Structure 1
Amino acid sequence: MKKKFIAGALTVTLSAATFIGSLGVGHAQVVDKNYIVVFKSDTNLPSNYLQIVKNSGGKVTKALPKLGAVEVNSENPNFLAEIQKSTAVINAGVENTIFPEAPVDREVLQEDFTATPANDLYNQYQWDIKQVTNKGASWNMKGGTGKSTNGKDIIVAVVDTGIDYTHPDIKKNYAYGKSFVPGITSAMDEDGHGTHVAGSIAGNGRVLGIGPELKVAAYRVFGPTGEANTSDIANALMTAADDNVDVVNMSLGGYDWFQNPEYATKDVVADVRLFNRAIQYAIKNGVTVVGSAGNAGVDISSPGKLSGDDNGATHRSPSSQTMIRVSAGGQEKNLTYYSNYGVGKIDVIAPGGDYGTAWLATGNPALRDRNKLCLSTVPGGYAFYAGTSMAAPKTAGLAGVIIAKYGKDVLTPSQVKHIIQSSADDWFKPGYDGESGFGSINAESALK
C-alpha cells in the first residue's frame, strides 16, 4: 500500500539530467543549450573567461564571480568538449533544474482573515510548533521569540517560491524580498510553498512560527512554472550571504544521476560543484544553511541503491556536509513514510507531518487524521501541508532563535549547528542514527 501511495501521490524533485528507476520517475526536461562552467578558482573568474567561453562557441548569460562560475548558452553541439580543453576550467556540464520540495499532502483550512483571535489556530492545530517549543516554553527564554539580544534583526532567508508579504500573520515580520526568476521582479508567492515555510519560521497571528519575532526575507527562485536553474539558486545563496542574513532555508532539491547514459559523469559534476560552492560561500560568510532531506522515502546514503535498476550512482542534491539536513517526523514521534533518511546524510529530525501511523498501517481512509499534518500560512489563508519542506524551516527557525540569544554575528554556523544537534531529543536508536540524525530539535533545550 505504501509503495502504491507514494507512486500515485508523491512529486519527486528531479535535476535536469536525472533518471531514478527506483523512484518510478522518468527523465526530467533538460535545459537545452544552457551550461554551467566552473573554473578552478572558487573566489574569482579568470581575466579572460569571456574569451575562453567565446572560443568554445558559447556566450556567458550569467556570471557568478564570487563562486568562480558562469552560466553559458551555446549553439555548438561540441561546446562541452571544447570548453573542457581549457586548463582554467575544472568542470562544465548541462545546467540542471531544481524544484521546490512539493508537499506530499496538502489540505486547505477553510478559514479567512475575518475572524482574528490571536493564536487561535496555533492553540487548536499547531502540534508541530508546540513540539519544538515545548508548548511555547522556549518563547519565555532569552532570544526565544527571535528578538536579538543586541537589538539587530535576525533574518531568515527563504529561498523558495516567494512569500505572500501581505498575509496578516507574516507582514509584521517580513523584512524584504528579491526575485531571481528571469523576467520577474516581484517576490510575491504565486504557489503557497514559500509562504507556508515562512509562517513556520516567523508566523505571528492566528498561527505562530518557531520564532514569532524573527524576520523573514523572500529570495524567490521559483516562478509560475515551478522550477529554477541551479545558477539562479546559487545566485540567491550568494546574494543572501552578501546581504548578511543569518539563516537560509532551502526546502528544495533534486537528484543527480552519475553515469546517466545521456551525459558523462564529468558533465553532471559541474552543477553539483556550483551548488556546493554557493553553500560554502554562505557558510564562510556566517550564514547557517538548512535544507530538506527530500520526500522520496529512500536511503540517500547509498548512491548505488538509489539508482535502482540503473547503473551508476544517484546523489541527493544539495548534499553538502556543512549544511544542516533535516528529515521529517510525525506527531507520533515517528519517521514519516515519505522522508528520505540515511547514515551520514541526516543531521536532525523536525516535524513534517503525516496522516498518522494508524492510517498508514491499515489504509483505512477513516483513519486519515488531517490534524497531524502541519498547519501554516498560505496566500489568502491557511493550509495543512506534509513534507520535509515543513521540517526544514522549523530547524531554520530554531537556528534563528539560537542566534538571537547570543546576538547577531556572534556565533559561527558550525556553533549553531552544534547547539542544534547537541540539544536534540534522542529518538529511535541510542545516539546518532540515519533516520533522525542526532535527534528531534528542541528549542527549549537549545536555549538553556
Structure 2
Amino acid sequence: MPFGQLHNFTSRTIIILCQNLLIKKEDIMKRILLLVTVFLVAFGTVQFSATAQETAEKDYIVVLKSAQTDSASIHTLKELGAEIIFEAPQIGVVTISSEDPSILQKLEENSKILAVAEDVDIRIFDGEAEALNLQEVGKAASVQPDLYEQYQWDIKRVTQNGESWNINPGNKETLVAVIDTGVDFSHPDLKDNLVFGKAFFPGARPGEELKDSGSHGTHVAGTIAANGRVKGVGPELAIASYRVSNNQGRMNWTGILSAITTAADDGAVSANLSLGTYSIMNDKQDRALHLSSKRAVQYALQKGMLIVGANGNDGMDLGKRMKTEPGKGKVYDGPLFDTFTSIPGVISVSSSTNRDTLAYYSNYGSSNVHLASPGGDYGPNWPNPENDSSKRDLEARTLSTIPVAQGSYGWKIGTSMAAPKVAAAAALVKAQFPELKAQQIATRLQQTAEDLGKPGHDEYFGHGLVNVYSALQ
C-alpha cells in the first residue's frame, strides 16, 4: 500500500474509533497506539538508539593560558581527541571540534586551558540590500560622482559636504581593514582602493577572499572608501578585505579573532567590525568570549590599530539587566554587553538618522556608546502604529556599493552602516597626523564630534556625531 494511502487509512480509522461510543476509551487508546506503532515501524521512523544526539559533533572555543598558541598546547588538544578547526596563534585562542560528549569537562580540567565554551553564532547587523534601480536613475553622468550628489546624505553629513576631502582624502599608505562577509573586488568604485583580501573561515578556497558571501562587506567597504558614482568617507584610503564568513554566511569566532590580529600585523590603521554577539560575564561561554576578544583588542592596540564596532540593531539599553520571558529565550541575569563594542579600547558606534535623531533600531547605553554616525532609517513616519509601509522614506536609508552581480549600488540601514564612517574617519586622522597613536586618534574623534541630544556625553550619541572635517583641522 502506498504511503499516502496508509496515512489516510490510519487517520480515518482513528476518527471512526473515536466516533464509536460503544468502545471504551482504553480500547480506543490501545488501537490508536497499535496503529501508530505499526505505521512508524513499517516506515523505519522509530529510532531506538539514544546516542545520535549525544555523539553529535560540536565546536568549542578554547582560550589557552598561554598568550600565544604553542605546539605543546595543540598537542594536548589533539591528545584529548579534539580536531583543530581554526587558530588565532598570536593570542592563544583555538576553535576545536569533537564528538566526545565529555570533552568540555576534560578541557575545563586541563591545566593549560584558561576558558572554554561551545561555539557561538555571530550576527551581522543588517538585512538584505535593496539594489538601486539604475534604469530609473539613468546612465552615469559625464561628471561623477552622480549618485553621491543625489543620494548620499550620510557621507555629506560627516564630511561637511565633501569639504574634508580638500584637507585629506586619504592615501594608499593608510590601510583600513574590513572584517566582514568579504568584498567584491570587481566593483568599479572600489577596485582602485582594494589592495588585498584574505579569508578566515574553515575550508576557504583560493579566490574566495576576493568575493562577498552576501552584500554586507561590500556596502561597508564603499562607505569607507568608494571612489566613483558613490563616495566613501575617505575616497583615497586603501582597503583590505578580511573575509570571515563562508558561503552560507556562517562565521567562526576564532576566525574573526585571527582576522583582527592579522590585520594588525598587516599594518592596518583601523578595522571595522560590524558584527558581534551579546554577552554577560556570569557564565562560561560569555567568559570565554570576553577573554578571547579582549586579547585580540589589546593585541591590535599594541600594534597601533584602532577597532571600531557597530553596537547592534535591537533598540536595547545594553547597560540594563535584561531578562526574557520563561521559555522564550536566554535569560540575561545581569547587564547585557555587546562583544566587541563593550571591550575596552573599541570605539562603539550608535546609529543616527538624516534628522540627527537616534535610529529606532540602534542599541544605546550610558557606558556603551562613544560616538554616533549616520546609519539611516525609513524616515520620521516609520515605524508607525498602523504598520503602513507606504509611509516609509526610502531615501532616508544609506546608499553604497554592493556586489556587481546584485546591482552594484544598494540601500541598507543599520549600525553596520554607521561604524565604517568612524573607521574611515580614524584612518583619515592618522593620515593627517601620523604621529598620533590609536587611543589618541579615538580621543581626537570624540573631542571634535558634533554634540547631539543632551549636552555632553549621553547614552544615545556618546560624545556626539563624528565630524571628519573638524577632526582634520
> For this structure pair, what is the TM-score category when the shorter chain's length is used for normalisation?
0.7 to 0.9
Aligned equivalents of 1:181, 1:50: Cα separation in 2:
19
Counterpart of 1:111 in structure 2 is 134
Q: Any conservation in 2 of the 1:421–1:439 contact (CA below 8 Å)?
A: yes
Shift of 1:226: 1.2
Distance 1:45 1:377, change over 3 A: closer
Aligned equivalents of 1:223, 1:61: Cα separation in 2:
14
Aligned 1:180-329 pairs, distance under 5 A = 180-184=200-204, 185=206, 186-187=208-209, 188-256=211-279, 265-302=283-320, 304-305=321-322, 307=324, 310=331, 312-313=333-334, 314-318=336-340, 319-329=342-352
TM-score by length of 1: 0.85
Aligned equivalents of 1:370, 1:45: Cα separation in 2:
49
Shift of 1:182: 2.1
Aligned equivalents of 1:192, 1:325: Cα separation in 2:
23
- Counterpart check, 1:153 vs 2:153: no
Aligned equivalents of 2:379, 2:98: Cα separation in 1:
50
Aligned equivalents of 1:47, 1:223: Cα separation in 2:
27
Counterpart of 1:63 in structure 2 is 87
Shift of 1:276: 2.1
Aligned equivalents of 1:308, 1:301: Cα separation in 2:
19
Q: Any conservation in 1 of the 2:457–2:464 contact (CA below 8 Å)?
A: yes
Q: Give the partner amino acid of 1:155.
A: L
Q: Which runs of 5+ in 2 are unaligned?
A: 1-55
Aligned equivalents of 1:390, 1:377: Cα separation in 2:
11
Query: What SS does structure 2 have at the residue aligned with 1:436?
Result: coil
Q: Any conservation in 2 of the 1:352–1:389 contact (CA below 8 Å)?
A: yes
Shift of 1:134: 0.7
Counterpart of 1:35 in structure 2 is 60
Aligned equivalents of 1:252, 1:172: Cα separation in 2:
26
Q: Give the partner amino acid of 2:432.
A: K
Counterpart selection for 1:414 from 439, 451, 459? 439
Q: Which runs of 5+ in 1 are unaligned?
A: 1-30, 260-264
TM-score by length of 2: 0.81
Aligned equivalents of 1:60, 1:226: Cα separation in 2:
21
Q: Give the partner amino acid of 1:128.
A: D
Shift of 1:107: 2.6
Q: Give the partner amino acid of 2:350.
A: S
Aligned equivalents of 1:75, 1:365: Cα separation in 2:
48
Q: Any conservation in 1 of the 2:276–2:339 contact (CA below 8 Å)?
A: yes
Counterpart selection for 1:382 from 403, 409, 412? 409
Shift of 1:300: 0.8
Structure 1 stretch displaced more, 362-371 or 328-337: 362-371
Aligned equivalents of 2:390, 2:93: Cα separation in 1:
53
Please report the RMSD computed on the Cα atoms of aligned residues, expressed in angstroms. 2.0
Counterpart of 1:125 in structure 2 is 151
Structure 1 stretch displaced more, 203-212 or 85-94: 85-94
Distance 1:124 1:258, change over 3 A: same
Counterpart selection for 2:164 from 138, 143, 148? 138
Describe the superposition over 1:245-269 as per-residue Cα deviations: whole angstroms up to 9, x where unpaired.
111001111223666xxxxx22442
Describe the superposition over 1:17-40 as per-residue Cα deviations: whole angstroms up to 9, x where unpaired.
xxxxxxxxxxxxxx9421121122
Distance 1:207 1:258, change over 3 A: same
Distance 1:46 1:181, change over 3 A: closer
Shift of 1:349: 0.3
Q: Any conservation in 2 of the 1:258–1:312 contact (CA below 8 Å)?
A: no
Counterpart of 2:426 in structure 1 is 399
Shift of 1:194: 0.6
Q: Give the partner amino acid of 2:166.
A: N
Query: What SS does structure 2 have at the residue aligned with 1:177?
Result: strand
Aligned equivalents of 1:233, 1:170: Cα separation in 2:
23
Shift of 1:178: 0.8
Shift of 1:296: 0.6
Structure having greater relative contact order (Cα 8 Å, sep ≥ 6): 1
Q: Give the partner amino acid of 2:314.
A: A
Query: What SS does structure 1 have at the residue aligned with 2:95?
Result: strand
- Counterpart check, 1:179 vs 2:190: no
Distance 1:60 1:223, change over 3 A: closer
The percent of aligned pairs where both chains have the same amino acid is 39
Q: Give the partner amino acid of 1:375.
A: L
Distance 1:315 1:145, change over 3 A: same
Aligned equivalents of 2:139, 2:222: Cα separation in 1:
18
Query: What SS does structure 1 have at the residue aligned with 2:431?
Result: helix
Aligned 1:365-376 pairs, distance under 5 A = 365-376=389-400
Query: What SS does structure 2 have at the residue aligned with 1:153?
Result: coil
Aligned equivalents of 2:332, 2:264: Cα separation in 1:
38
Shift of 1:189: 1.1
Shift of 1:298: 0.6
Shift of 1:114: 5.1
Q: Give the partner amino acid of 1:312.
A: D
Counterpart of 1:357 in structure 2 is 380
